[in-house]
Amino acid sequence: MLIFKIFRADEWAKLQAEGETLGAPVDLADGFVHFSTASQAAETAAKHFAGVSDLWLLAVDDARLGDALKWEVSRGGDHFPHLYRPLRLSDVVWHQPLPLKEGKHIFPAEARP
């Protein structure tokens, strides 16, 4: 199953340059890399990236992450995927810009429930 990470442009550039990352500031503070499922991604964008442009959506196959991926209860009692190791560029299946149109992020079909 694909899971999704939203990065600001500088965070995505750092992952590309360094080959791995411990994530965004919120990930560093929490001690794991936050991901969302397709059914959670739009709400994550609205809650944590409202009005933010220049974002990138990264898709990762959860099977590639092995035991370092934990599904834990978070927002609204939903189980969210949390990665307890660095995210590696080689983990990313695809990436693309996450455009903002009229205040709403537009997700590709592959990232919608």
What lies within 8 Å, CB to CB, of 109 at 6+ separation is none
Would you give the DSSP letter of residue 52?
Answer: -
Return the percentage of the chain with pLDDT > 90, whole number. Answer: 93
Judge whether residue 55 has pLDDT over 90: yes
| Domain contains 81 | yes
Mean pLDDT over residues 38-66, rounded? 96
Judge whether residue 75 has pLDDT over 80: no
Q: The pTM is what?
A: 0.95
- The residue with tokens 């899971």 is 3
| Domain contains 107 | no
Residue 5, token pair as written in the block: 């990470």
CATH number at residue 21: 3.20.170.20
Nearest Cα to Cα of residue 33 among 90, 81, 93, 96: 81
Judge whether residue 74 has pLDDT over 90: no
Domain, as residue range, for 32 = 2-101
Position 102 confidence tier, pLDDT thresholds 50, 70, 90: very high
Number of domains in the chain: 1
